[in-house]
Amino acid sequence: MAKQNTPKNRSTAGKRNSTKRYYTYRKVDKSTRPAQIKQAESVRVAFLGGMNEIGKNMTVYEYGNDMFIVDCGLAFPGAELLGVDSVIPDFTYIEKNIGRIKGLVVTHGHEDHIGGIPYLLKNFNIPIYATRLTIGLIKGKLEEHKLLEGAKLNEINPKDKIMLGSFTVEFIHVNHSIPDSVGLAISTPAGTVIHTGDFKIDTTPVDGDMIDLPTFAKYGTKGVLALFQDSTNSERPGYTMSEKTVGESFLNLFRKAGGRRIVVATFASNIHRIQQIIDVAKALKRKVAVVGRSLENLVEVGSELGYLKVPRNILISIDNINDYPDDKLVIITTGSQGEPMSALTKIAHGEHRKVTASPNDYVIISATPIPGNERMVGNVVNELMKRGVEVVYENMYDVHVSGHACQEELKLMMGIIKPKYFVPVHGEQKHLQKHAALAQSMGIVKNNIFVGDIGSHIEISESGLKELAKVESGEVYVDGIGVGDVGNIVLSDRKHLSADGIIIIVATIDSESGMIVSGPDIVSRGFVYVRENEELIDAAKGLASQVIYDTYSTKYHDWNTIKTHLRDEISHMMYEKTKRSPMILPIIMEI
């Protein structure tokens, strides 16, 4: 019986074991399945500015339900934006997600990174995190816009770390053309992202504090998910020269000026450059006067915070320059980019109230024209030379070095950071494409490189980089105190007026009889000189009268029809006779 039972027991045991093994297998399968289908954690990034353009830098980083902003700058308008003072990013995406925004982190104090902040804070009181000088410059802007009271300004130092929701952000010192510039190491559960901000590698910086390469390398050793790197100088081979070379050039040029008055135009935000001009002026026993509101503000803030070391009694008011001989004066001015309303442009055209150009002036333009500004700078140089002024400009001497990294520095940063994914930022299309090619030369796979545009929205994880649907973005024009009230239609009208001028037709009609009791009068501005074209104006008056009588009805007053017919008929006549198409503006009154 035992022998008979053994196989049966074995068989039953075998079935039990089989069933048990099967059950255990299924249990393991269920527990591991979620891990197999679970998506990798990701960081999302939206570009609201600084892509495919110079300036207006603004980037939004997102993880889970948390978001924060890096920089909020402006761009200066091109010649086609008639009358526009500045261009800022479209904040629609911020408005839609304001409940998720944990703060605004600012990399440095240049206008293309802080210029849009007052317009952002008018609508959203977001906490701001920046270094000491950057906070000082932001305060000046907020005070001007009456926004300083209540602003949440947080001063940080390089190597500090802050928590913004799921983000840990470390501030890393970099060299640039303004002190207190930082790059960012942004850590999330999905990985670490490096945002360099504007930078260069200067081994002999004027302030003596070299870029913190060891910290960048530390993150590179740990592993960096993605690198977002400044592309401004990606077309330039080699290395960017040290700012100290400019100081040596200033000394030589100031001596060359002899007994002439020296005028130096530079970027208002370049404290290092201003410090070197003051140092050389002191060595040659010259007084220094500052012209331009932004420059005056920077000198005041920089001196108060200790970033500018100004010897006693060297600075004088621009009102007192006539009290000193030319060989004892240096004037520092804005306008190195030929901006129409800048001090240097006004001096060149003889329109400045306090400084008059003369053949005894020696002008140094200590800046390289930003792409697109070459013509404006050339016009200023030409106007100065017409007045007998000697001008030192562009690359004639080492009077300017860039604050941005050239190709070898960009490659060096890529090499020590070793990112899995690479995104070039801060530049026009040609800069971004060149930078992308550099990244490929450093071994970064083409599919791991993203060249974006304003409004681009990307998602990055260990498993891949993909482009999402674009976010709301674009340009908002600031004109005087108006923000966004100048759009394409207004700009189109301005272009039309600038090209062909305007004709205004004014007439008064008796509502009972339908008779014209006054006019039609023709007013021309920017089209033809009325006194020399009386025949044309008389013909326009006759045609206007005919159109009014043909279309006016005492029973039903359709003003739109009358004005439309006037515009069409007068425009057609003017084009036939002059081959020009002025704007036609009818003004019809009824009594």
Mean pLDDT of the residues in the chain: 86
Give residue 518's pLDDT: 81
pLDDT, average across residues 139-163 = 94
Residue 30 has pLDDT above 50, yes or no: no
For the chain, give the percent of residues with pLDDT over 90. Answer: 55
Q: What is the pLDDT of residues 344-375, one digit of tens each?
A: 999 999 999 999 999 999 999 988 777 667 78
Q: Is 137 helix (H, G, I), strand (E, B) or coil?
A: helix
Catalogue the E-assigned strands of 295-445. Answer: 315-316, 329-333, 361-365, 390-392, 419-425
Give residue 394's pLDDT: 66
Nearest to 93 by CA among 456, 486, 477: 456
| Token pair belonging to 25 | 């297998």
> Which of 230, 279, 361, 479 is labelled catalytic?
230
DSSP 463: T
Q: What is the pLDDT of residues 33-48, one digit of tens each?
A: 444 434 568 999 999 9
Higher pLDDT, 400 or 323: 323
Q: What is the pLDDT of residues 511-523, one digit of tens each?
A: 777 677 787 888 8
Q: E strand or H helix at 375, and its extent?
A: helix 374-386
pLDDT, average across residues 207-234 = 95
pTM equals 0.80
> Which of 404, 431, 435, 457 is labelled catalytic?
404
Residues with Cβ within 8 Å of 2's Cβ and at least 6 positions away in sequence, in order, are none
Confirm if 385 and 391 have CB atoms less than 8 A apart: yes
Give residue 13's pLDDT: 42
Residues, the chain: 591
Residue 532 has pLDDT above 90, yes or no: no
Active site residue 572: no
In sequence order, the β-bridge partners of residue 182 are 173
Active site residue 404: yes
Candidate ranges 297-306, 441-450, 559-568; pick with highest mean pLDDT: 441-450
Query: What's the N-to-C CA distance of the chain in angstroms?
Result: 128
Confirm if 391 and 367 have CB atoms less than 8 A apart: no
Higher pLDDT, 228 or 525: 228
Residue 16 has pLDDT above 50, yes or no: no
Q: What is the pLDDT of residues 542-558, one digit of tens each?
A: 888 888 877 766 556 66
Higher pLDDT, 121 or 12: 121
Q: What is the pLDDT of residues 408-440, one digit of tens each?
A: 999 999 999 999 999 999 999 999 999 999 999
